[in-house]
Amino acid sequence: MNSFLVTKGIERAAHRSFFYAMGYSEEDLKKPLVGVVNAQSEIIPGHIHLDRLAQAAKLGIAAGGGTPIELPCSGICDGIAMGHRGMHYPLASRELIADTVESMAVAHGLDGLVLIPNCDKIVPAMIMAALRLNIPAIIVSGGPMLTGRYQGKVVDVTYADQATGWLVKGRITPQELREIEHSVCPGYGSCAGMFTANTMNCLTEVLGLALPGNGTIPAYYGSRVALAKESGLRIMELIRDNICPLDLVKLESLRNAIAFDLAVGGSSNTVLHLMAIAHEAELALEIEEFDRIGRIVPYICKLSPAEGGCYLEDFHHAGGVLGVLKQLAQGGYLDTKQQTVAGKSLDQLIAEVGEINEEIIRPVNNPYRQDGGLAILRGNLAPDSAVVKTAAVPREMFRHEGPARVFDSEEEAIEALLAGRINPGDVMVIRYEGPKGGPGMREMLQITSTIVGLGLGEKVALITDGRFSGATQGAAIGHVSPEAAEGGPIALVKEGDLIFYDLEERYLELKVSPEELARRKENWKPLPPKIKKGYLPRYASLVTSAAKGAILLAK
């Protein structure tokens, strides 16, 4: 066992003394030492309740014959960081969290891990750490928030974001905005739609790293606590059988994850995260896989923020992750032989699925669309790639041409939008917001929600080398690569240039001649770094393109 490095032998007497100082017994040190990595904090609504899950997991570990050891983990609430300088940090924190888990586990000789995240970057970061360490590990997440109610409507946090635009347009009063603020998030849990956090939590099941229900059991439910206890018991079996993450996460399981993501119109951020996960597993996953799978996997489950979509609680009761996988398996879209931490293969788990509510999770022969809910675009504006969540784009905006309105930061774009300087038909271009140029590739939920709130969601497109929240709606094309800070074509766009895209054809074009672009490139100079101190300049110097998952590579 790894823990023998710190508990066994006469040369470890001092090490054992440190454990005794904390109240561990000699008997405790003879058992496997299991880290319970708890991302609880009082600054993230999706994490404020995780202590209860950690305690349940520790009970399971102790009952299974292990010694649980709780460890802390940082996390950022994307919603609170949104729309200001704080948003430079969440994606960059993915690497910090993975590094922290690695450091704590190796330095203390842990034999296994129960990983307890819930929100956007924390979930993929913990998956990355588990693969990097490759010791027995299981994920038990905090679960989704229940929906809110406002004037008889079922609402989630996107309603509050859109309300900013309604207030500017005079459609609601300041008092109504205040009432909306108090209505949309009724309590703890990850935001109620199929945004990034819930998409990634669902994918933990598909990848085989979490027990069934991890992606969808609401945070308020007692069965969420029971799941944590069961996960604690299960980690002891994984340790005894020496089943490690790399035994479970294969290229085929990553393809299964992409298929699920596309079938439910999940967050575009999963492109970044699945590629980073593949990198940690040393698996050759290329961004072309998302496009290849996206052209054949049908869109069968419409979830918020898609118009008319349901919420995670509804999805859970309709059949949840395994319900979608059962429908996809019947269409031949999955490799169901992949193994899971449950000790069963996907096909065995699928065989246990009961009745599916096909009004929510449709059969593959009756999809909302024949292709998936994400698309990878290319063209002279995005030679390496761009990503769009087609599930949240109005059909009338699937093909569009309009004049570029160019901004070198998100703040400039929001100012122009709120000042009424954006017109129907415009294509807003926000650049120098990529992994290097941001730095940190900021999410832009505030601006996309404001576009919708101003009534421009079916009239204005947005293109950026930054990224979008899983809650984003509208014609929002992100991850444009190469980014502006690396001299990509998006850096060469001028005010008024015509931009054309066709989502069906996966095409994104800047209607400027190659000769003119070459002249502009000769005169191009990058903007000076926006942030010059702290972690982010180091991050910017090491981070790769969004087309490669925005992973860090040592120079």
74 is catalytic: no
Alpha carbons 189 and 119: distance in angstroms, whole number: 9
**Which of 330, 309, 436 is CA-nearest to residue 373?**
309
Catalytic residue (choose from 190, 469, 481, 545): 469
User: What is the torsional sign of CA 379, 382, 383, 388?
Assistant: negative
Q: How many CB atoms lie within 10 A of CB 335?
A: 16
**Helical H runs in 136-250?**
157-168, 174-181, 196-206, 222-241, 245-248
Are 180 and 163 spatial neighbours (Cβ–Cβ below 8 Å)? yes
What is the rounded CA–CA span in Å between residue 530 and residue 447?
A: 20
Q: Other CB atoms closer than 10 Å to residue 509's CB: what's the count? A: 17
Q: Are strands 498-502 and 399-407 parallel, antiparallel or unpaired?
A: antiparallel
**What is d(CA 460, CA 397) in angstroms, rounded to the nearest whole number?**
8
Strands 427-430 and 153-155: unpaired
Question: What are the Cα distances from residue 523, in Å, to 206, 437, 487, 491, 495?
Answer: 48, 18, 11, 11, 16
- The first and second tokens of residue 319, run together, are 């059949």
| Structure-block tokens of residue 317 | 């009761």
Q: What is the 3-state secondary structure (H, E, C) of 109-152?
A: CCCEEEEECCCCCHHHHHHHHHHHHCCCEEECCCCECCCEEECC
Between CA 555 and CA 549 the distance in angstroms is 17
State the SS3 of 74-102: CCCCHHHHCCCHHHHCHHHHHHHHHHHHH
Quick one: angle between helices 122-133 and 196-206, nearest 10? 30
Locate 374 and state its tokens. Answer: 């994400």
Asked if residues 381 and 508 have their Cβ atoms less than 8 Å apart, the reply is yes
Amino acid letter for position 114: V
Q: What positions carry a catalytic annotation?
A: 469
